[in-house]
Amino acid sequence: MKLAKLSALIIVALALIVPVVWTGKVQGQGATEAPTGFDTLSNGMVTQAVHETDRAVFEERDDIADGLGPVYNAQSCAECHNQPVTGAISQVTEFRAGDVNAQGNFVNPTISINNGTATIPNRSLINDRAICPAVVTDSNGNVIFNFPNTQVQARISSLETVRTFRTSLNTMGDGFIEAIDSNTLLAIANNQPNQSGGFIGGLFIQVPVGEANGALRGARFGWKNQHASLLSFAGDAYLNEQGITNRLNPTDVTSLCDTVADPEDHTGTDGLADIDHQARFMRATKAPSRDSVAAASSDAQIGQQLFNSVGCNICHVSSITTAPAGTVINGGAFTVPAALGNKIIHPYSDFLLHDVGTGDGIVQNGGQISANRMRTPPLWGSRTRARLMHDGESLTRNDAILRHAGEATQVINNYRSLSTTQKNQLIAFLNSL
């Protein structure tokens, strides 16, 4: 018992010391605060007129004639990223599933469709919607889509024993996240064991950059850190969430009911395809702002100190500085502009994979070691969300905190040791983010 108490005290002391030490390493000389706000305004990377054009593409609803489906989850990016403004967080979930082989490793399933006459192989994403069966006519009554007896809706079988929901993530401020140097994330990962007495150590992985012929970069986007580039993310989401093929993902997952030639995302008269507009929109968004009134309250300010002292900030890193303007990233495909470079952001995330006892068992780009690890979700803007954690199944901040285990066990034990008043103060801080 004495040893456990001593361990907890050491972690608390380290957490109190580290923010001062680590801030000097993360923040660069001459860095300025990144612009924030739920106001739909550009962060300065592009003009407001260009930003509005890109937002319109992000909000555009696609239909069958545009290449929607054959299986899909949404008809626009904004369907899943729109609370409280376009690009922000959501309560919408997607469904993933898979199998476990004899060695205990996760295996992507083969999904049977159309009453077993066709399959979708190697796919953990089980789309909720499909364009068939359907008969569609134009305004003149001409039949333009005619598949009344084809069933493309994906369903799992009893073989898919690994099952999980995942909530849609915030994309506001993602341009700043993309502009973080990979070495910064690696340094955070390397420092965490020292901060936590060896209990915490985030997994840093590198993933292919689709627009740069498979060049690798430190991952940072998605619940499993599937992407490092916003253009790669846009291309992946366009295919897998809307079923729109594009130059980075040129083939539909099934040919059933597919009547539009691939790739379905074409370059416009401005030289940009939809995925280019979508990526530029995300890059030009401001970071989520805090509730300034709530943040100024004494409870929230004390709560922030408690958040640090119990050790939450070891993974939910409060301040990170982006790479300098002019830095070439994404395998040479993107150069950090002045609007995104050398900016101090407050995401409350380390963008690393951790096992905190809530892993969904799904493997994507991180190998089998990542099956029960999830990316630390940025807490900025989380006050606009009621369903918490990756699956949305925690409905209060206290419930979400207490679900943490694994690497976070000592931190959560520190939280449990707080008085009720102190816990409420820490949650008041979270409610200001």
User: What one-character-per-residue DSSP string does 376-424 give?
Assistant: ----TTGGG-SSBSTTS-B-SHHHHHHT--GGGHHHHHHHHTS-HHHHH
pLDDT at 367 over 90: yes
What span, in angstroms and rounded, lies between the C-alpha atoms of 177 and 222? Answer: 12
Q: Which helix (H) or strand (E) holds 239?
A: helix 230-242
- pLDDT per residue as tens digits for the range 132-185: 999 999 999 999 999 999 999 999 999 999 999 999 999 999 999 999 999 999
Average pLDDT over residues 357-365: 96
Domains of the chain: total? 1
Q: How confident is the model at residue 13 (pLDDT cuts 50, 70, 90)?
A: very low
- The percent of residues in the chain predicted with pLDDT above 90, rounded, is 92
pLDDT of residue 29: 66
Mapping DSSP to helix (H, G, I), strand (E, B) and coil, where does residue 10 land? helix
pLDDT at 398 over 50: yes
In the numeric block, the tokens 């950090």 are attached to 336
- pLDDT per residue as tens digits for the range 95-127: 999 999 999 999 999 999 999 999 999 999 999
In the numeric block, the tokens 């949404």 are attached to 74
Q: How confident is the model at residue 291 (pLDDT cuts 50, 70, 90)?
A: very high
Q: Whole-model pTM?
A: 0.93
What mean pLDDT value characterizes the chain? 93
What span, in angstroms and rounded, lies between the C-alpha atoms of 234 and 282? Answer: 9
pLDDT at 425 over 80: yes
In the numeric block, the tokens 């900016």 are attached to 343
pLDDT of residue 391: 96
pLDDT of residue 15: 43
pLDDT of residue 284: 98
- The percent of residues in the chain predicted with pLDDT above 70, rounded, is 93
Average pLDDT over residues 369-387: 96
pLDDT at 5 over 60: no
Average pLDDT over residues 376-398: 96
- pLDDT per residue as tens digits for the range 334-359: 999 999 999 999 999 999 999 999 99
pLDDT of residue 307: 98
pLDDT at 377 over 70: yes
Straight-line distance from the first to the last Cα atom of the chain, in angstroms, rounded to the nearest whole number? 36
Q: How confident is the model at residue 3 (pLDDT cuts 50, 70, 90)?
A: very low
What span, in angstroms and rounded, lies between the C-alpha atoms of 245 and 71? Answer: 12
- pLDDT per residue as tens digits for the range 297-332: 999 999 999 999 999 999 999 999 999 999 999 999
User: What is the residue range of 231's domain?
Assistant: 2-430
Q: How far is CA 5 from CA 1, 2, 12, 416, in A?
A: 6, 5, 11, 13
pLDDT of residue 214: 82
Classify residue 92 by its DSSP letter.
Answer: -
pLDDT at 190 over 90: yes
pLDDT of residue 225: 98
- pLDDT per residue as tens digits for the range 25-70: 444 568 999 999 999 999 999 999 999 999 999 999 999 999 999 9
Classify residue 154 by its DSSP letter.
Answer: -
